[in-house]
Structures are given as C-alpha cells and as structure tokens.
C-alpha cells in the first residue's frame, strides 16, 4: 500500500487551508441487518467454523373421555448447522523517508495507513455479510436459504420501475412485506425492529417523493413520502425501522435489477401465561438472532515488525464468518427495476 507524497510548489504570500480534503466513500448501513446491529465477538483465534445446535419439536396428544393405554410422545430432534470463518489480512510498509514525506503534507503516515487498512477490512466484511465468501454455499444475506424472494409487481397503472411506480402503492407494498415477515416469524402484535437496506437511488426516491393526499394524510393535513408513510405505519404498530443504504446492491437483484433487503434482525418470545402454545421456546439458552456474523475481535489486530533498512511492516488481521441468516424466514429479498 504505497503512500505517494510528491513535492509541491506554492506561491507566497499565500494561505494554506489546514484541513485535508478527503475522498468520501459510502458508509454502508449493511451491518444494521445484524442482530445487535454489529458483529458478535464470539470466535476464538483460529476457529475455522462456527456451529449452532438446533432443536425441532413436534407434539402429539391423546384426548378422550376414557383413559388411553397407548399414548403418543413428543418428538424432539436435535441437529447442527455451521458456517466457515475466514481470515482477513492486509499490510502496510513504510520507512522514515515515507514518514517525512507524508509529514510535509501534514499527514501522519501511521494514522493514514491504519485508517486505510481498517476501511479495507470494513469493505470486505460488508461484502462477506451481504454476498458471502462462497455464495454457492448459501453464505451472505443476499443468498440466504429459505429467504422470501420476489420481484416488484406492477402497480395499478402497470408500472414496474421505481421511478414510475405509484408512490402510495409502493408504501403499501413495503408495508405488506413487513406484515408478511412478521407473520412468517410469528411476531404479530409485538413491536419489532426492521432494517430496510437498498441502493441510494432506490430508497432515496422513496425518501424524497410525495404520497398523494388522498392515500395518506397526517394529523394537521399534508402528505408525506413513501418512506414516511412506511415509518409512520410501523410506528403505529410499535415497530422501529432503520432505513439504510448500500450502493453495492445495484444490479444484485434477479435479471440485473437492484436488490432491496428487508430483515428483522432478532425475534422475541411473546409474553404469555399458561396455557402457552409456544411453551417450548422457554428452553434455555435460546438464540434470538435472525441474522448474525461472528468475529474473533472487535477491531483488526495490528502486528508491527521492523524490516531491514529501517522500515516497518504493519500486518493487520482478523477472523470473521460471512453473513449468516440462521432464520431465513426473517429475510425478504425484493428485486426492483430502477428505470
């Protein structure tokens, strides 16, 4: 990773703005898809796979006015699911000449290289979360086994693209997908957090358009956007929504369309007394996560090593899994043609 700090010429008298003009890249909201909103620091150094013990229960009962002599039993089946972990590494090398050259530009080469490496880690981890390191094995949220995948249906006018779709009908479509997701996960009646992740050009359109007054009217009159309609509808049901952006989802839907991901990061156990038809869910310890990603440390480890000639090598590494949607029914993948 080179640090190119050439000589420069200025005219005096002059004024040098002290702040650095940095190129900004998109701060992805992909990690809001995860339970707890972050990777779980659970792996030990060198763990090659992560496993989850899964228990499935089927119950049968006998009922009658007379006592039965032959009675059915509950079937409890235990199984195991797993996902591999991957070691992510990169390095930086520089000597005292590079340090001096960067300093002439008012930059700390140590901090610049550290932040550059951490950004690289974040970008590859984002890719592992969304698309997996081996998508063919079902890794990554976009390739979740058991997820609900659908294409944007035509609106009442036959429009099928984001830019031409009826604004109000788009809000109702998204609301229905969230309702369907809650139904699949048996979370109706419980306020839940949802994450909607998509490209800026798609979700940004829903933020800045206007829903017709006859379709949605707020207290005090006036109308709101597609996103506003969705957010306020969810608020009325006690839900929370994170509206997040990631432009790598452009072209990732079916037929080279844009992909929008709706997920519920965690489930909740409905509060109920007795009788409770979900009684078996009280078995501890239960895992509430729907989408998760495991890592071995909170931030990449840095290992500085002297090199011949007075240079220094900084190796940075960490281990993490791909995005792991352990409850596929909590993920909805919508392919939307932008225009």
Convert the pLDDT of each residue in 154-199 to its tens digit. Answer: 999 999 999 999 998 999 999 999 999 999 999 998 999 999 999 9
Residues spanned by the domain of 99: 35-62+74-336
pLDDT of residue 221: 38
**Residue 234 · residue 177 · CB < 8 Å:** no
Cα 217 to its chain centre, rounded Å, is 32
pLDDT of residue 2: 77
Residue 47 neighbours by CB distance under 10 Å: 15
Q: Mean pLDDT lowest for which of 14-28, 201-215, 250-264, 322-336?
A: 201-215
Domain contains 20: no
The structure's pTM equals 0.91
| Residue 337 pLDDT grade (very low, low, confident, very high; cuts 50, 70, 90) | very high
Domain contains 148: yes
**DSSP-assigned letters across all residues of 111-170:** HHHHHHHHHHHHHHHHHHHHH-SSGGGT-SGGG-TT-EEEEPPP-TTS--BTTTS-HHHH
| Residue 42 pLDDT grade (very low, low, confident, very high; cuts 50, 70, 90) | very high
Which of 17, 291, 9, 44 has the alpha carbon at shortest distance from 146? Answer: 291
pLDDT of residue 15: 96
Domain contains 286: yes
CATH number, residue 147: 3.90.1690
pLDDT of residue 218: 47
pLDDT digits (tens, 9 = 90+) for 78-109: 999 999 999 999 999 999 999 999 999 999 99
pLDDT of residue 224: 81
pLDDT at 214 over 80: no
Domain contains 3: no
pLDDT digits (tens, 9 = 90+) for 129-157: 999 999 999 999 999 999 999 999 999 99
pLDDT at 34 over 80: yes
Average pLDDT over residues 235-244: 93
Number of domains present in the structure of the chain? 1
Average pLDDT over residues 6-23: 93
pLDDT at 5 over 80: yes
Domain contains 26: no
Which of 18, 37, 32 has the alpha carbon at shortest distance from 196? Answer: 32
pLDDT at 13 over 80: yes
Domain contains 18: no
pLDDT of residue 1: 60
Domain contains 7: no
Buried b (16+ CB within 10 A) or exposed e, 232-250: ebbeeeebebebbbbebbb
The Cα 257–Cα 64 span in angstroms is: 57
The Cα 305–Cα 317 span in angstroms is: 14
Mean pLDDT of the chain: 92
Domain contains 19: no
């Amino acid at each position: 990773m080179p640090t190119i700090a050439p000589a420069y010429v200025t005219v005096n008298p002059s004024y040098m703005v002290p702040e650095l003009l940095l190129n900004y890249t998109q701060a992805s909201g992909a990690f809001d898809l995860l339970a707890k909103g972050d990777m779980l620091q659970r792996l030990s150094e060198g763990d090659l796979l992560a496993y989850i013990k899964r228990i499935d229960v089927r119950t049968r009962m006998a009922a009658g006015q007379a006592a039965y002599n032959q009675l059915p039993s509950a079937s409890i089946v235990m199984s195991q699911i797993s996902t591999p972990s991957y070691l992510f590494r990169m390095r930086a090398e520089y000597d005292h000449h590079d340090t001096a050259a960067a300093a002439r530009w008012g930059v700390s080469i140590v901090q610049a290289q550290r932040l550059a490496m951490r950004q690289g880690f974040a970008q590859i981890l984002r890719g592992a979360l969304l698309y997996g390191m081996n998508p063919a094995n079902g890794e990554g949220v976009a390739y979740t086994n058991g997820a609900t995948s659908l294409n944007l249906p035509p609106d009442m006018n036959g429009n099928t693209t984001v830019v031409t779709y009826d604004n109000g009908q788009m809000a109702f479509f998204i609301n229905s997908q969230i309702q369907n997701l809650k139904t699949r996960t048996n979370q109706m009646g419980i306020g839940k957090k949802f994450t909607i992740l998509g490209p800026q050009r798609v979700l940004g359109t829903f933020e800045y358009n206007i829903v017709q007054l006859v379709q949605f009217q707020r207290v005090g009159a006036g109308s709101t956007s597609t996103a506003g309609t969705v957010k306020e509808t969810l608020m009325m049901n006690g839900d929370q929504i994170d509206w997040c952006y990631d432009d790598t989802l452009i072209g990732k839907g079916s037929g080279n369309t844009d992909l929008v991901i709706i997920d519920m990061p965690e489930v909740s156990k409905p509060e109920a007394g007795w009788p409770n038809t979900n009684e078996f869910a009280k078995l501890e310890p239960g895992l509430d996560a729907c989408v998760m990603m495991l890592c071995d440390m909170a931030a990449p480890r840095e290992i500085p090593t002297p090199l011949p000639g007075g240079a220094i090598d900084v190796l940075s590494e960490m281990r993490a899994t791909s995005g792991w949607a352990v409850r596929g029914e909590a993920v909805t993948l919508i392919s939307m043609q932008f225009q």
